[in-house]
Amino acid sequence: MNLPNKLTLLRVALVPVFVVVMTVGIPYPYVNLIAAAVFGITSLTDMLDGKIARKYDLITDFGKLMDPVADKFMVFAALITMLYCDPFSYMKPFLLVATLIVIFRELGITSLRMVVSGKASATTLAANWLGKVKTVSQITFILTALLEPVLFGSTPFVDVVAEYHILSYATLAFMTVMTVWSGVNYAAAYSKYLSLK
């Protein structure tokens, strides 16, 4: 149980903390600030565990399994909780579509990776830059949706941003595009290892 694996487990443990913070009735704006802090720490562990594991050669089978699983728990829980919470009802139809796209993409690509894992090299299966940008876009959207109303809601010079949630919609759109793009890219890369026979 080395440091990267401990960080991965911490990420998993923080997921229910985020859900509880968002749903127990903490008054605004504290709920957004606390939830953003918890999610920010959770996201930071995602960046650190992989870097530490590679730098100090601490890569384990447990880490290979749990690191991507923890990432999915983190993003799925945040998006589903936001769908449940009233403060995000202004974007609920768009958020619902984006959440379904994220879930189907992640489950689909994970299934593909499992199927081709015995046929493809580790280099082929490794996350490429599109996958990394996709993950960053998901984290960026969630943090933006939490913090935009707090940062701009009482600022008189940015009423348009505050009222129409421009940054939240922009990052939601970017997240959706990157999720689809990276999913198509992975599917194309893995398709040559699949056989219908």
Q: Is the pLDDT of residue 82 over 70?
A: yes
Q: How far apart are CA 132 and CA 47, in angstroms?
A: 10
Contact 87, 27 (CB under 8 A): no
pLDDT of residue 190: 82
Q: How far apart are CA 144 and CA 167, in angstroms?
A: 7
Q: What is the mean pLDDT of residues 47-65?
A: 86
State the alpha helices, DSSP H only, in the chain: 3-23, 30-55, 61-84, 92-116, 122-125, 129-152, 159-164, 166-191
Looking at the domain assignment, is residue 197 inside a domain?
no
CB hemisphere CA count around 74 (13 angstroms): 32
Looking at the domain assignment, is residue 97 inside a domain?
yes
Give the Cβ contact number of residue 79 at 10 Å.
23
Looking at the domain assignment, is residue 158 inside a domain?
yes
Domain of residue 87, CATH code:
1.20.120.1760
* pLDDT band at residue 120 under the 50/70/90 scheme: low
pLDDT of residue 161: 53
Range of the domain at 168: 3-191
Q: What is the mean pLDDT of residues 159-165?
A: 63
Q: How far apart are CA 33 and CA 99, in angstroms?
A: 22
Looking at the domain assignment, is residue 17 inside a domain?
yes
Looking at the domain assignment, is residue 196 inside a domain?
no
- Overall number of domains in the chain: 1
Q: Is the pLDDT of residue 165 over 90?
A: no
Q: Is the pLDDT of residue 41 over 80?
A: yes
> C-alpha distances in angstroms, 117 versus 38, 71, 121, 152, 164?
33, 19, 7, 46, 45
Looking at the domain assignment, is residue 176 inside a domain?
yes
